[in-house]
Amino acid sequence: MKNVGVIGTGYVGLTHGAILAEKGNNVICYDIDREKIERLHKGQIPIYEPGLEQLVRKNLGEQRLEFTTNKDFCIKESDILFICVNTPPKQSTGGLRKADLSYVEHAARDIAEKMNGYKIVVDKSTVPIRTGEKIYETLKKFHPPHNFDVVSNPEFLREGRAVEDSMNPDRIVIGVMRDGEGNLLETPLENMRELYQNFNTKIVETDIWSAELIKLAANAYLANQVSFINKIAELCAATGADVSEVAKGMRLDRRIGQYAFLNAGIGFGGSCFPKDIESLHNIMMEEQINPELLKQVLEVNNAQKYYFLKMIEEGLWTIRDKQIAALGLAFKPDTDDMREAPSIEIVNKLNDEGAKVRVYDPKAMEQARSHFGDNVTYAKNLEEAVIGTDAIVLITEWDEFKNMDLESTKKMMNTPANFFDGRNVFNPKKMSEIGFYYYSIGRPHIEPRKENKKQ
């Protein structure tokens, strides 16, 4: 059992803190956001993440988890301090954005000022390579009277599956500094091994820089797969092939594998992939390594939204005054997070073109208001979103949409009923039988079966 402090109580910090408490540690989560901490004191979760609320309430009740705005208390009471603050993208001179590390620096300075004994300072925020070194130097500059070690322990959770992923991670990466002889420092390693001993998974012990790069490289690799299949989808659309069939055939190759990220669609968004790939791109530029591959991944991803918009325009001919239901606003299902969600650009563009857009998301309606203001209509539920519309534009594949009653949806819509499926959720043949004009990514567009055309 360890005394753990978590600095930054967002998607990562809150989940990590709750999981470590669940594993029996004493955890204090600190955040500068007072409102967030007040809500957490009452057991209210400021984000939507399946299973997290129960976990937080249970561990609050069992007094292994505390929330505070008092950094002094958090730092002094903890032996291991996790930095889980945001590292948002900021504009850089080279065009693509860099990670803003000012929040990380702040956290490191706070620790340096308040530490009252040996501390292990663990960076969990996603950062460029060699940030661990900067954290180390920052701590040292304050001449703390106590020893410390710096560790990199990148986070791989997926929003929407954060609890599940954190309970059963594919691997835990622990990066520590080396001693004068090139060996990994044993004290921080030993402590981290103990902390994670009840997790049934592989632990990768490595140096700090490799740990930092594992995170960025993994995200860039996954994003690469998404852009790759989207490019193949474009080719499918041009030639009449079906990208779902192509991906199915590819996945059966064991070197590719059934979990490969080969779902064609309107591309990735979120607070991680775009930012992390841009960050890796900039690091390569700084090291004078050709970053073209990563640039292409981003360009293909960005183009995907416009490809989808063009498909909508071609399907509807003109967009002005068309009633359109935009379904799914979060950047992916099972989260309320709209950071860099493709929905933002798609809805805004439809709006600019004069469509009457009605938006609906099972969990991200509050966030949507800050993006779309009074420009769209906010539906209270799926039915209210689709009734009397000319087109459905499916942006995020929530289960609620996957399981929607397509027959009654079709009946509620105007004729002709157009369905633009940005995530290839439905079976084209079935959609045709129901009577939709059905458009998806990298698959042939389908008209309603003749007898259903006028229904």
Binding segment (CB under 6 A) for ligand NAD, from list 26-34, 113-121, 240-248, 421-429: 26-34
Instruction: Specify the residue, 110 or 242, whose C-beta has the smaller distance to ligand NAD.
Output: 110
Contact call for residue 107 and ligand NAD (CB under 6 A): yes
**Binding residue for ligand NAD (CB under 6 A) from 115, 272, 324, 395?**
272
Q: Nearer to ligand NAD by C-beta: 74 or 413?
A: 74
- The three-state secondary structure class of 171 is strand
Which of 28, 30, 81, 101 touches ligand NAD (CB under 6 A)?
A: 30
Q: Which listed range, 5-13, 179-187, 286-294, 421-429, lies at the site for ligand NAD (CB under 6 A)?
A: 5-13
Q: State in angstroms the smallest separation of the CB of 123 from ligand NAD.
A: 9
Please report, as residue ranges, which positions from 363 to 422 form the binding site for ligand NAD (by CB under 6 A).
none
Which of 159, 234, 242, 361 binds ligand NAD (CB under 6 A)? It is 159
- Is the distance from CB of 396 to CB of 361 less than 8 angstroms? yes
Residues of span 176-235 touching ligand NAD by CB under 6 A: none
User: Where does this chain touch ligand NAD (CB under 6 A) — which range of 32-40, 253-261, 305-313, 341-349?
Assistant: 32-40
Q: How far is the CB of 258 from ligand NAD (least distance, A)?
A: 23
Distance CA 76, CA 94 (A): 41
Closest to ligand NAD by CB, 103 or 426 = 103
* Site residue total, ligand NAD (CB under 6 A): 26
Contact between 48 and ligand NAD by CB under 6 A: the answer reads no
Pairing of strands 89-90, 98-99: antiparallel
Report, in Å, the least distance between residue 47 CB and ligand NAD.
7
Site for ligand NAD in 112-141 (CB under 6 A): 125-126
Q: Is 153 in the site for ligand NAD (CB under 6 A)?
A: no
Among 5, 6, 13, 409, binds ligand NAD (CB under 6 A): 13
The residue among 32 and 250 lying less far from ligand NAD, judged by its C-beta, is 32
Does residue 84 have an active-site annotation? no
Binding site for ligand NAD (CB under 6 A): 7-13, 30-33, 36, 84-87, 103, 106-107, 125-126, 155, 157, 159, 271-272
Q: What positions carry a catalytic annotation?
A: 272
